[in-house]
Amino acid sequence: MATKVAKKHCRRKEGIDRISELPDPLIYHILSFLPTFYAVRMSIVSKRWRHMWIYTSVLHFEDFKSLTLLKLKGFRLEDSFPVNLESLKVLCLERVNIYGRTSLQNLISGCPIIEDLCLRDIYFQLSKDIVAGATLRNLTLWNLRLTDEMVDDLGWRHPLLEKLTMRSCSNLNHISIQRDSLKSLFLAHDCPIEIKIMTPNLVSFVFEGLVMSNISVFDAPNLVEATLKLLDTRLDNRTWFPLILFLSYFKFLKKMTLCFCFQENVIIPKDVRNICCRSLPTLKHLKVKMDNDTLWTNSEIRDSFVWCAPSLETFEMEYLSYTYFNL
């Protein structure tokens, strides 16, 4: 009987998870001695260790040649030895502090077959020499300090690029988007900007910006639909003419979604209609989204846009809360 009790007592001791009882600083210290590959594998030691590896101060990727996706957020990137991530296809860097002029380029250059690259909140003036490989198909640039020249160079640097997203990037005034392979383009800019688009295979275009922007579409025969989100919050009566001009940049479209953050001057007066040309002569389908506190009735809004687009076949209204325009 005593022997059975002793065996049960031994089994209880063997089942105690003493590793999970270690203090966090000690666990971090233990993991700091391990290569990143093994630090990640240590997450199976216990439930408490499952996510401990993400708090290690330094990540080494020399043993990650089979890695295909890498997303890093809130870290510091320093100059180091050349990186070799020969299998990586998706790379996303967010809230990164760059230390060293070549550190970011070393990382990107070490991904020879990368297809999807996202750079967001990079606290560094990017160089125009920073470029991914010729295999890149999807590029997202969000809240970065760029130059017009850097954007102009995107086309010939990335011959297979199919999707380009640029949101809240500073220092841009006059940009040119030229890429035969480009199919999807998203641009969001909170200042007036001049944009030239020459993309013969473009099928999707989304623009978030100001009415005073100038958008010239020279070659986009496959673009039949666009979404335009106008961010101007308060405009005077002279806005009618810039609005008519802005819409005329897309006079070749068949389908459009139009979002207004303002509603004071959405209705174009009849005397203005008598002296202006119609902006959207070929448009067939229009969806208008605006603040639900609009001053105008549905019929007034519809009449105004039917004048802009005399060939309309379908017209849809959607009222949105103000929070929609602050996403």
pLDDT tens-digit profile of 192-228? 999 999 999 999 999 999 988 999 998 889 998 999 9
In this predicted structure, the answer to whether residue 5 has a pLDDT above a threshold of 80 is no
> Residue 108, Cα to own-chain centre: how many angstroms?
18
In this predicted structure, the answer to whether residue 165 has a pLDDT above a threshold of 70 is yes
pLDDT the model gives residue 234:
56
Can you tell me the mean pLDDT for 88-108? 86
In this predicted structure, the answer to whether residue 325 has a pLDDT above a threshold of 50 is no
pTM as predicted: 0.80
Q: Classify residue 185 by burial, with Cβ atoms within 10 Å: 0-12, 13-18, 19+.
A: buried
- Cβ count near 10 (within 10 Å): 10
Confidence of residue 294 (pLDDT cuts 50, 70, 90): low
Backbone angles phi, psi at 19, to 5 degrees: -65, -40
Q: Classify residue 89 by burial, with Cβ atoms within 10 Å: 0-12, 13-18, 19+.
A: middle
Report the distance separating Cα 240 and Cα 274, nearest Å: 13
pLDDT the model gives residue 122:
86
Can you tell me the mean pLDDT for 82-89? 86
Query: Tokens 């005077």 label which residue?
Result: 236
Tokens of 186: 């998203």
Query: Tokens 């809130």 label which residue?
Result: 74
In this predicted structure, the answer to whether residue 63 has a pLDDT above a threshold of 70 is no
pLDDT the model gives residue 141:
94
Report the distance separating Cα 264 and Cα 167, nearest Å: 27
Tokens of 247: 């819409």
pLDDT the model gives residue 265:
65
In this predicted structure, the answer to whether residue 326 has a pLDDT above a threshold of 50 is no
Can you tell me the mean pLDDT for 247-262? 91
Report the distance separating Cα 119 and Cα 121, nearest Å: 7
CB under 8 Å to 47, separation ≥6 — which residues? 20
Report the distance separating Cα 198 and Cα 159, nearest Å: 14
Q: Classify residue 173 by burial, with Cβ atoms within 10 Å: 0-12, 13-18, 19+.
A: exposed
In this predicted structure, the answer to whether residue 322 has a pLDDT above a threshold of 60 is no
pLDDT in tens, 110-148: 889 999 999 999 877 777 666 677 899 999 999 998 999
Q: Classify residue 7 by burial, with Cβ atoms within 10 Å: 0-12, 13-18, 19+.
A: exposed
Domain limits, the chain: 1-60, 224-327
Confidence of residue 64 (pLDDT cuts 50, 70, 90): low
Report the distance separating Cα 289 and Cα 12, nearest Å: 65
